């Protein structure tokens, strides 16, 4: 879980328009695409 938190922090700094998540649950896998709305938060301090 810590690696996911670190990657999300990187994405927050990059602020991409779309983020794609790879979800693996047992024998099932899927991709989830999320459209971000960064206008709701302030940019992180560099």
For the chain, give every domain's residue range: 2-37
What is the SS3 assignment for 1-46?
A: CHHHHHHHHHHHHHCCCEEEEEEEECCEEEEEEEECCHHHCCCCCC
Rounded distance between C-alpha atoms, residue 30 and residue 17, angstroms = 20
Task: Check residue 30 and give its pLDDT.
Answer: 93
Rounded distance between C-alpha atoms, residue 41 and residue 46, angstroms = 15
Q: What is the pLDDT of residues 5-42, one digit of tens each?
A: 898 889 888 889 899 989 888 898 999 998 888 787 77
Residue 46 has pLDDT above 70, yes or no: no
Q: Please give the backbone phi and psi of residue 38, each rounded to the nearest 5 degrees, phi first.
A: -75, -5
């Amino acid at each position: 879980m810590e690696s996911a938190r670190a990657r999300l922090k990187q994405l927050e700094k990059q602020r991409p328009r779309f983020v794609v998540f790879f979800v693996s649950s047992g024998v099932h896998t899927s991709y989830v695409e999320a459209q971000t709305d960064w206008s709701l938060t302030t940019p992180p301090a560099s």
